[in-house]
Each structure stands twice: as C-alpha cells, then as structure tokens.
Amino acid sequence: MTVVAALPRTPEPVTLQAMSRVLVVEDTESIREVVEMALDEACFDVRTAGDGDRALLEMRAWRPDVVVLDLNIPGPNGLEVCRRMRDFSNAYVLMLTARADEVDKLVGLSAGADDYLTKPFSPRELVARIQAMLRRPKELGVAVPEQVSAERVVGPLRIDVEAHEVTVDGTHLVLTRLEFALLDALTENVRLVSSRDRLRRAAWGEAWLADDHAVDVHLSNLRRKLAGAGVDGFIATVRGVGYRVDRRVL
C-alpha cells in the first residue's frame, strides 16, 4: 500500500481534535501505524485494534468519537462490527476497503458507515475526512426560533427536531443520525422537491465529501424503516429531479 509516511501538523484548531477520540481498526500493522501517526500528528487521541472483537471491546470501554474501520479484519468483519456498534454507539464510521467496486461501498454505508476510503489512500485525506466529520454537527446546528415549535407533524409522523426523535402513531422509530437529517430535510417543506445535492448538504454539510450513492443508500434505509413502521410510500421519487414527501400521506 502506498501512503504518505509523514504529515505536517494540521492547521485545524487544536481544540477540535483535542477532545476527539479516534479508534483505528486495521489488521495490517504497517497501515495501522501510519494512520495512527497521521492522526497523532493532527492532535487526535488515538487507540488501535487489530480485529473485530478487540474493536468492539474498545468501543464499549473507550467511547470513541470516530472509528476508522477496515472492511476485512479478522473476527467479526468491518460490516458486522459496524452493525453491532450501532446498538450502543453513534460514533462516526469511516470505512476502509481494498476493493473499489460499488458493492463494497454501498453495503458498508447500509451497515451504518458514514463514509468510505478505498486503499491505497493518503493519510492527509483520511485526516481531512475525519475533520469534516467533526465539523459537521456545528454546520448542521440550526437554532430554532422560540416562537416556532420544534415539533413537526407530517402525516402519521411526529418529528421532534430538537430531540431528534420520530414517532409513528405514538410508537418510537429508531433512526440513525443521517437518516434523521434526511427526514428532517424532506419534511421541512413538504411542497419542496429536494435534489440529491440539497439532501447531501443537509445531512453531511457543505464541506462533506459524500457522493450521490451515499444519499441513495441512506434514503433506502430510511424508506425501509418507515415501511416497517407502517408508513409505506412516504418518500416519493421525482424522476430526474429528486425526492419529496408523497402527497398521499399528507
């Protein structure tokens, strides 16, 4: 694997990284060491794991903010680790894969990963992706005016924007951070057709590097969860334009 062996100290404010824990899960020692060094140079608090079982133990005990997760690790592989950790952690996940085909990328995102990098990669790019992840909550944080209710009712859905909670006829619907952001963007104005680019910016932020495939995968997951809660067809596709809330559910 070709990587950059050393990086200059990042110009990002130290206060952002100093509070941020990154767990690197990679079974190839040389790659693990280079990634650890790059993150250490960028002032992150870093720990490493070489297999899936150790990674899950570290996640429960240490509670990282970001997990850099190789797809093909021993024990539970990266996809299984990602699925299991979503039961107890909302850490950002950057998936690493040696295969560049779309299947790996889309399956990884559907398991709960936030982004992916294909090997070989530059440690500088990896650090930049993580910094963008950690900036995203600030970019997405929108103050709700006091006179406007933070609760939104759209058809059978009751959406609490501040609490990031969704209920369907009184039953709580469990969504990931990205799924909620997409639903929030779609229901903010039910008459609006949202392009993929608008949804990407709403969920990932302006500086985020996610592509249209990531939007499609997380929308597919959101649709499946809504259908499982009895709200089938809530999101309509407007061919060639984007997505909107289906008028029939309003």
Instruction: For each of the domains in the chain, give its residue range(s) and CATH number, in order of start.
Output: 14-140 (3.40.50.2300), 151-249 (1.10.10.10)
Q: How many residues does the chain have?
A: 250
Residue 212 has pLDDT above 90, yes or no: no
* 51-102 tens-digit pLDDT: 999 999 999 999 999 999 999 999 999 989 998 898 888 899 999 988 766 5
Q: How does pLDDT run across 139-173, given as a tens digit for each residue?
A: 333 333 334 457 899 999 999 988 889 999 889 99
Q: CA 226 to CA 86: how far, in whole Å?
A: 18
pLDDT in tens, 168-184: 988 999 998 889 999 99
Which CB contacts under 8 angstroms, 24+ apart, belong to 213-220?
Answer: 213/102, 213/105, 213/106, 213/109, 214/109, 214/115, 215/182, 217/106, 217/109, 217/110, 218/109, 218/176, 218/178, 218/179, 218/182, 219/182, 219/243, 220/110
Residue 98: what pLDDT?
83
Q: Is the pTM of this model over 0.85?
A: no
Token pair 């759209």: residue: 154
Confidence label for 10 from pLDDT (cuts 50, 70 and 90): very low
- Could you report the per-residue pLDDT of 22-58, keeping only the tens digit for each? 999 999 999 999 999 999 999 999 999 999 999 999 9
